[in-house]
């Protein structure tokens, strides 16, 4: 039976912190960005994964009200929910606000949704490193929450 493990990495050293079942960006000052979270996805019970996509399926914040340039992976040049991915750990990327973002909310929760971002593979059963952050607006007060969903094809 296929399964997936989400693993979190230290954004300063790239060392594996451990497996996670939820993602907490912590307390953030209004009008600023969260610290970047660095993850990857490890798949077991399969020989190969492909077409890995990540989407935001719910959020108490606007994901992106006016997407700018849309890149080949489906990410946008602007937005509030940062998302980038690389084959090798990138400390500079992990320690700065991200320059690409989700283009919108995946309201269908389907893999075919245009607002998903295509993430590549580092190995047959391991995704690229994924970097996530959130820009909190000056008027965003209180607790915010959301949900990411990963989609993939496997053999």
> What pLDDT digit, counting tens, does each position of 112-154 carry?
999 999 999 999 999 999 999 999 888 887 778 899 999 999 9
Rounded Cα distance between 86 and 64, Å, is 23
What pLDDT shows up at residue 140? Answer: 83
> What pLDDT digit, counting tens, does each position of 74-84 carry?
999 999 999 99
What pLDDT shows up at residue 2? Answer: 85
CB atoms inside a 10 Å sphere around CB 80: 20
- Contacts of residue 116, Cβ cutoff 8 Å, sequence gap at least 6: 53, 54, 55, 74, 106, 151
**The tokens 């283009």 sit on which residue?**
103
State if pTM tops 0.75: yes
């Amino acid at each position: 039976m296929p399964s997936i493990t989400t693993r979190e990495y230290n954004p300063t050293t790239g060392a594996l912190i451990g497996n996670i079942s939820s993602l907490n960006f912590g307390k953030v000052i209004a009008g600023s960005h969260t610290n970047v979270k660095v993850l990857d996805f490890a798949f077991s019970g399969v020989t190969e994964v492909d077409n890995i996509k990540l989407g935001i399926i719910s959020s108490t914040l606007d994901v992106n009200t006016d997407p700018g340039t849309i890149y080949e992976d489906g990410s946008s040049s602007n937005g509030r929910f940062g998302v980038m991915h690389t084959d090798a750990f990138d400390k500079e990327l992990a320690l700065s606000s991200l320059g690409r973002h989700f283009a919108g909310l995946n309201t269908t929760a389907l893999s075919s949704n245009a607002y998903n971002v295509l993430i590549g593979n580092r190995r047959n059963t391991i995704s690229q490193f994924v970097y996530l952050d959130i820009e909190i607006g000056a008027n965003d007060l209180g607790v915010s929450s959301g949900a990411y969903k990963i989609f993939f094809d496997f053999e």
